[in-house]
């Protein structure tokens, strides 16, 4: 990086603004010729993240519709630079701005589901940190520019890993972690961990609140470990939602991952079979405490951090540093929950 320029593989990108920062890297908005991109600069990578970027570069002739596009990659000294699509905002931003159209939940589910399918079925990978912050929103225009459509794309692949080698426990973000990742067993889990997170995300969009509430991570994790299928079914039945979609959510949120739907079953249920659409009637819900915002735990300050590109929940910066040091030295994953600060352009 030279002053306000970044040179990657003979392309000179003009640095416009820093739009994100976390414990392991920074994200910049840049311009090359008349196009705008995001460049992620980081020193350490998750166990499968670097291989993911390299493999995508090999598939340069293939474009994934619902995964953020990777255009270029280069290692310069101890830092690596990844050139990516620039998103307009995250799904979390739409939630906070109350811009979610509940009538379009089915469309949202399809968009996110297609991205999961591209990971699971086409790339043989699990994301392991699905949440609204890690879904970018873009708007595309028709050729005559009279119509627009939103496209949702999965991003932040720091925890991505081959589905045949899933064994790291308690990885991800508290609200969306499936029970099997929190249980103290030696059993490997499977790619359906993403389906649980997907289901929790959709429940949040429809209900207007998270399924699991609490002031500490321990409380939330205990709720996840002790909830039953009956309790989940009860909560879903309280939603003002058509029966077929309630049943879909119930099958996405099965405690036993072997009974849980896979992404192909989810998408099959979302195929249009009639003119029936999701129906939603707004109802008032009280404000709920959320560890998306600051709270104290054992004298450690927890703070929700956001960026329009990548966000995570940060437990402790030193833990994050140790995690990525272990990744570099031992190629092992330690259970760490991360987040990145919101930086306004």
Q: What's the pLDDT tens digit per position in 251-302?
A: 999 999 999 999 999 999 998 865 444 444 444 344 444 444 333 333 333 3
- In terms of Cα–Cα distance, which of 293, 316, 295 is closest to 305? 293
* Rounded CA separation 163/193 (Å): 10
Residues forming the active site? 129
Q: Give the distance from CA 299 to its chain's centroid.
A: 28
| Pairing outcome for strands 295-297 and 300-304 | antiparallel
User: Which domains occur in the chain, in start order?
Assistant: 5-84 (3.30.200.20), 89-342 (1.10.510.10)
Q: Which residue has the tokens 């099965």?
A: 254
Do the Cβ atoms of 200 and 253 come closer than 8 Å? yes
Q: Check whether 345 has a pLDDT greater than 60.
A: no
Give the pLDDT score at 61: 53
Q: What's the pLDDT tens digit per position in 26-54?
A: 889 999 999 999 998 888 777 778 778 87
Structure tokens at 330: 């031992």
Q: Mean pLDDT across the stretch 76-82?
A: 85
Q: Give the distance from CA 107 to its chain's centroid.
A: 17
Q: Give the distance from CA 115 to its chain's centroid.
A: 11
Query: Measured at the alpha carbon of residue 106, what is the angle toward residues 105 and 109, in degrees to the nearest 5?
Result: 85
Phi-psi region of 170 (alpha: psi -120 to 50; beta: other; left: phi over 0): left
- Write down the H helix ranges in 183-228: 193-207, 217-226
Where is pLDDT greater, at 47 or 113? 113
Q: Mean pLDDT across the stretch 58-77?
A: 80
Structure tokens at 313: 């929940």
Mean pLDDT of the chain: 78
Give the pLDDT score at 337: 36
Q: Check whether 327 has a pLDDT greater than 80.
A: no
Give the pLDDT score at 303: 33
* Rounded CA separation 49/214 (Å): 31
Query: Measured at the alpha carbon of residue 296, what is the angle toward residues 158 and 232, in degrees to the nearest 5?
Result: 65
Q: Which residue has the tokens 């119509």?
A: 147
């Amino acid at each position: 990086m030279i002053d306000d320029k970044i040179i990657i593989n003979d392309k000179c990108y003009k640095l416009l603004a820093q739009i994100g920062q976390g414990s392991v890297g920074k994200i910049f908005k840049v311009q090359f010729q008349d196009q705008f991109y995001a460049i992620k600069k980081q020193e350490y990578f998750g166990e499968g993240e670097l291989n993911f970027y390299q493999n995508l570069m090999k598939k340069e002739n293939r474009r994934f519709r619902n995964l953020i596009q990777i255009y270029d990659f280069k290692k310069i000294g101890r830092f690596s630079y990844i050139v990516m699509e620039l998103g307009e905002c995250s799904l979390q931003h739409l939630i906070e701005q109350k811009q979610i159209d509940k009538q379009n939940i089915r469309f949202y589910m399809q968009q996110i589901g297609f991205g999961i399918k591209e990971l699971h079925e086409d790339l043989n990978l699990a994301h392991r940190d699905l949440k609204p912050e890690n879904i970018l929103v873009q708007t595309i225009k028709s050729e005559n520019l009279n119509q627009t459509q939103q496209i949702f794309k999965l991003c932040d692949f720091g925890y991505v890993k081959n589905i045949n080698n899933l064994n790291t426990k308690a990885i991800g973000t508290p609200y969306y972690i499936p029970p099997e990742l929190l249980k103290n067993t030696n059993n490997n889990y499977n790619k359906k961990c993403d389906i649980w997170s997907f289901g929790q995300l959709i429940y949040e969009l429809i209900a207007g609140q998270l399924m699991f509430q609490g002031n500490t991570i321990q409380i939330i994790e205990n709720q996840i470990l002790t909830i039953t299928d009956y309790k989940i079914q009860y909560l879903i039945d309280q939603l003002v939602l058509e029966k077929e979609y309630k049943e879909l959510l119930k099958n996405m949120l099965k405690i036993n991952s072997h009974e849980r739907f896979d992404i192909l079953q989810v998408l099959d249920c979302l195929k249009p079979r009639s003119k029936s659409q999701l129906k939603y009637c707004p109802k008032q819900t009280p404000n709920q405490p959320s560890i998306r915002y600051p709270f104290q735990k054992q004298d450690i300050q927890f703070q929700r951090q956001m960026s329009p590109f990548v966000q995570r929940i940060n437990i402790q910066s030193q833990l994050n540093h140790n995690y990525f040091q272990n990744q570099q030295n031992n190629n092992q994953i330690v259970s760490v929950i991360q987040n990145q600060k919101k930086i306004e352009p």
